[in-house]
Amino acid sequence: MDDLRVPIGSFFVILGVMLLIAFFVITTGPPLSSPRVNLWCGLAMLAFGAIMLLLARRGKA
């Protein structure tokens, strides 16, 4: 493996997408949760993963 940023980036992109799906599919949550938490966390993880992948690409070029 050449660059650890690729697996880490792709992992968090997948995680982000899953949370976004969860946001649309799951409507119930525990008492203290807020309804949009899956959305925000999904977007944050998607962004983190994308930045990692971008850094890996730039590092290669």
Partner 1 sequence: MKPGVIDYIILATYFLYVIGIGWLVKRRVKTGADFLTSGHSIPLWVTSLAFIATNLGAQEVIGMIASGAKYGALTFNFYWLGAVPGMIILGVFMMPFYYGSRARSAPEYLKLRFDEKTRGFNAITFAVMTIFSSGISMFALGLLFQLVLGWKLTNSILLSAAIVLVYTYLGGLTSAIYNEVLQFFLIVLGFAPLSIMAVWKVGGWSGLTSRASAWMAKQPGFAHNPDVITHTWKYMGHASSNMMGVEWFGMLFGLGWVLGCSYWCCNFLVVQRAMAAKSMAASRLTPLIAAFPKMVMPAVVILPGFAAIALHQMHVPGIMVAKGATFNYNLVLPNLMAQFYPSGLLGVGLTALFASFMSGMAGNVTAFNTVFTYDIYQSYIKKSASDSHYFKVGRITTVVGVLLSIGAAYWAAQSDNIMDFLQLVFGFVNAPLFATFLLGMFWRRTTGHGAFVGLLAGETAATLTLGFSTAEGTGGWFGAIHTFPSAMAQNFWIAILAFTSCLVVTVLVSLITKPKPVGELENLVYGYTKIPVEQDVPWYKRPILLAVIVGVACILFNIWFW
Contact residues: partner 1, CB under 8 A = 1, 4, 7-8, 11-12, 14-15, 18-19, 21-23, 25-26, 28-34, 37-38, 40-42, 44-45, 48
The distance of closest approach from Cβ of residue 55 to partner 1 in the complex, given in angstroms and rounded to an integer, is 11
The distance of closest approach from Cβ of residue 32 to partner 1 in the complex, given in angstroms and rounded to an integer, is 5
Residue 21 near residue 41, CB atoms below 8 Å:
no
Burial 29-58 (b: 16+ CB within 10 A, else e): eeeeeeeeebeebbeebbebbeebbeebee
The distance of closest approach from Cβ of residue 15 to partner 1 in the complex, given in angstroms and rounded to an integer, is 7
